[in-house]
């Protein structure tokens, strides 16, 4: 199979993804093998609010009870996923939407009982993605997983998982050439607030420990480190910029490259 690029579209940038869609279609037409992982937590919150359900967060993650799981599944695997697929196909691309449930792509377990149906990936079965790629399609993956490990009797069969580590796990399983995060920031910043163009893995860990890297950037960084283990290039760039992806492929993407020291 040709070299694959895994692209994570952040939920916070989905409202501004018009040029991203155009870039994805253009890259596919020139022969690039792309897998897109998307978020959409803001849309889940919006729909829970419509249902009169209050959203509770612990350490930045949504507590997901049975009701929230139903809404998250419908919104992420349904509405958001199909909006992206439709936008790509209407522009002449060839996309198919899947979730981590389909083909047992992602087998997960509950992270902690207090979080409800919030999971973490235990096993990745990438065959469905490989089949789609070999057939000329661009898989669009929503970050739900099969509740396959240590499942309690009577529990739901689906888990809601963070799309950031999902992107890293899929990149590793596919032995991807590149992992790209399209975010709503310019890259990873140093203590003075300036973007770090190149960040060594060991230095990255120290920045986390010192609190310079915090919040939602931590799971993105960890996903990059996962991808580095299979030799992928890991990039965090500003998805708000026009033609951010095309500029990335032209070597003008800006942002931050996370690398292993042995890559120097």
One pLDDT digit (tens) per residue for the chain, 264 residues: 679 999 999 765 555 556 899 999 999 999 999 999 998 999 999 999 999 999 888 877 899 999 999 999 999 999 999 999 999 999 999 999 999 999 999 999 999 999 999 999 999 999 999 999 999 999 999 999 999 999 989 999 999 999 999 999 999 999 999 999 999 999 999 999 999 999 999 999 899 999 999 988 999 999 999 999 999 999 999 998 899 999 999 998 899 999 988 655
Q: What is the pTM of this model?
A: 0.94
**Alpha carbon distances (Å) from 119 to 86, 97, 116, 186, 220:** 28, 21, 9, 29, 17
Name, in order, each residue with C-beta under 8 angstroms of 6's C-beta and a sequence gap of 6 or more. 34, 35, 36, 37, 167, 170, 171, 174, 176, 178, 179, 180, 227
Residue-range domains of the chain with CATH:
4-263 (3.40.1160.10)
Q: How far is CA 81 from the centre of its chain?
A: 12
Q: How many CB atoms lie within 10 A of CB 45?
A: 19
């Amino acid at each position: 199979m040709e070299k694959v690029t895994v692209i994570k579209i952040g939920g916070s940038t989905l409202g501004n993804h018009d040029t991203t869609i155009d870039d994805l279609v253009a890259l596919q037409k020139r022969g690039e093998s792309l897998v897109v992982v998307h978020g959409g937590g803001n849309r889940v919150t919006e729909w829970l609010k419509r249902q009169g359900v209050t959203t509770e967060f612990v350490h930045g993650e949504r507590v997901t009870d049975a009701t929230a799981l139903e809404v998250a599944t419908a919104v992420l695997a349904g509405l958001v996923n199909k909006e992206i697929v439709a936008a790509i196909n209407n522009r002449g691309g060839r996309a198919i939407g899947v979730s981590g449930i389909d083909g047992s792509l992602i087998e997960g377990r509950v992270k902690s009982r207090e979080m409800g149906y919030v999971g973490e990936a235990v096993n990745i079965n990438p065959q469905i993605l490989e089949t789609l790629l070999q057939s000329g399609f661009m898989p669009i993956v929503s970050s739900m997983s099969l509740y396959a490990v240590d499942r309690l009797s009577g529990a739901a069969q689906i888990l809601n998982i963070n799309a950031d580590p999902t992107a890293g796990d899929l990149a590793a399983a596919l032995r991807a050439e590149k992992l790209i995060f399209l975010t709503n920031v310019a890259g990873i910043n140093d203590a003075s607030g300036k973007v770090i163009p190149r960040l060594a893995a060991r230095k990255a860990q120290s920045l986390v420990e010192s609190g310079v890297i915090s919040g939602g950037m931590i799971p993105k960084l960890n996903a990059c480190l996962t991808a580095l283990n299979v030799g992928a290039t890991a990039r965090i760039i500003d998805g708000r910029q026009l033609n951010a992806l095309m500029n990335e492929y032209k070597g003008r993407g800006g942002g931050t490259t996370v690398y292993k020291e042995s890559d120097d």
